[in-house]
Amino acid sequence: MDAKEANMSSKHLNQLLLSWERNEESLSQENVEEILAALQPLTQELQSLGVRGYTGERFPQWMSSPSLKYLNSLELVDCKSCLHLPELGKLPSLKKLTISNMIHIIYIDENSNDDGVVGCFMALEVLLLEKLPNLKRLSLEDRENMFSHLSTLQITECPKLSGLPYLPSLNDMRIKGKCIQSLISSMHKHHSLEAIRFANNEELIYFPDGMLQNLSSLKVLDFFELPKLEQLPTLIFNLHSVQEIYITGCSSLKSLPDEVLQGLNSLKILDIVRCPKFNLSASFQHLTCLEKMMIESSLEIEALHETLQHMTALQSLILCDLPNLASLPDWFGNLGLLHELIISKCPKLRCLPMSIQCLTRLKTLKIYGCSELGKSCQKETGENWQNIAHVQDIEIQNWVQHTVRGGLSGYPFAKLF
């Protein structure tokens, strides 16, 4: 057999990727389980292992052997015929685990308390679960010290996952695609959570009551492509620790509730992108610590609400694709810390207020795709030039610069999605 001739057990490998192409030959291969068993590497040295496209029903014993004592990364992808996972919970050094596109998997860990094992996945820090249509729970039975060091959990298209065990170290949780309410409701018990992200759920209209209750460490909330979402979790107002909120592609969202805005007294970054029904409200005055705000693609915004002048900590403001924004108010000069102003695709905006000359800290002014405003701000000749002449970096273009940042599209580790 070719697999035996490879003599893998004699090779000193610290990384190994085994991949099967999805073709007629691989699908008809009767001895595929024997082949994977024969490809056992020198387990004492292996640190990273990937298995992709494997067509067998079972994984070999060596994949859950205690001799894999240095294995810290494992990915199992497109192993669609497999009925069960190896006993991965016993691998002492496993820090990152990816399981993707396996239709038969119901539990990540199927062991019960009968074997006397108390904890499992003791070293695991990152768990990525993707396209597991029948996954119900992480474990058949919850036990003490399970997933005790898990810090990042990403769940993508696992529509039957009903809840989570207590994860004491979890600080970053991401849910993409359809999910059931009981999974969202289980968030409140993970008190160490610092970031929660929802993405690409076409059915989610509202969040269950209490889902963010007692999450005193929460800093980042990200809502991405939730077209039916009408309201954010109302208990955010208890979360004085929240510093960043990104809302993108929530086309049914009209506003942020007053009780939410009143409690966000530590919020520093707010991005609202592609929410055409969204409008600003008087309660934005409570965002006294806000440093960066971006509003993009809203049909409802015709003017900046007068209470925005109380956001005196604002340093960066991006106004993009607001077709009905006709003017900026005279109080704009009250935003004394503003150092960056970007205006893009606001065709009705013809001039800047005279008070902009009071913004002595304004260092960057960029105007894209605003023909009338651009003309009025041209150097020396524009009627607005004297008001902005003190700005060091001025850029005016008829074309549109892509300004979207933040959220899942701009976050440093958003690539996990």
Say how far apart CA 379 and CA 57 lie, in whole Å. 71
Residue-wise pLDDT for 126-159, tens only, equals: 999 999 999 999 988 877 778 999 999 999 999 9
Say how far apart CA 36 and CA 24 lie, in whole Å. 18
Closest listed residue to residue 341, CA positions, set 392, 301, 298 = 392
pLDDT of residue 256: 87
Q: Which amino acid is at 8?
A: M
Q: Which residues pair with 246 in a beta bridge?
A: 222, 271
Q: Which amino acid is at 293?
A: M
Residue-wise pLDDT for 353-398, tens only, equals: 999 999 999 999 999 999 999 999 999 899 999 999 999 999 999 8
Beta strand 340-344 with 292-296 is: unpaired
pLDDT of residue 1: 46
pLDDT of residue 377: 93
Tally the C-alpha atoms within 13 A of residue 127's C-alpha that lie toward its C-beta.
Answer: 25
Which stretches of the chain score pLDDT less than 50? 1, 404-417
Terminal-residue alpha carbon distance, the chain: 39
Cβ contacts of 50 within 8 Å, gap of 6 or more: 16, 17, 18, 19, 74, 75, 76, 77
Radius of gyration of the CA atoms of the chain, in A: 27
Residue 48 sits at φ, ψ, to 5 deg, of -135, 130
Cβ contacts of 23 within 8 Å, gap of 6 or more: none
User: CA-based angle 165:170:175, to the nearest 5?
Assistant: 80
Say how far apart CA 136 and CA 119 lie, in whole Å. 20
How many other CB atoms are there within 10 angstroms of residue 43's CB atom? 19
Is-contact 285 313, C-beta < 8 A? no
Q: Which amino acid is at 83?
A: L
Is-contact 42 10, C-beta < 8 A? yes
pLDDT of residue 118: 57
Cβ contacts of 32 within 8 Å, gap of 6 or more: 20, 26, 54, 55, 56
pLDDT of residue 157: 96
pLDDT of residue 258: 82
pLDDT of residue 25: 55
Q: Which residues pair with 198 in a beta bridge?
A: 175, 223
| Helix, strand and coil percent figures for the chain, each rounded to 5 | 20, 20, 60
Q: Is 303 exposed, middle or buried (0-12, 13-18, 19+ CB in 10 A)?
A: middle
pLDDT of residue 3: 52
pLDDT of residue 111: 75
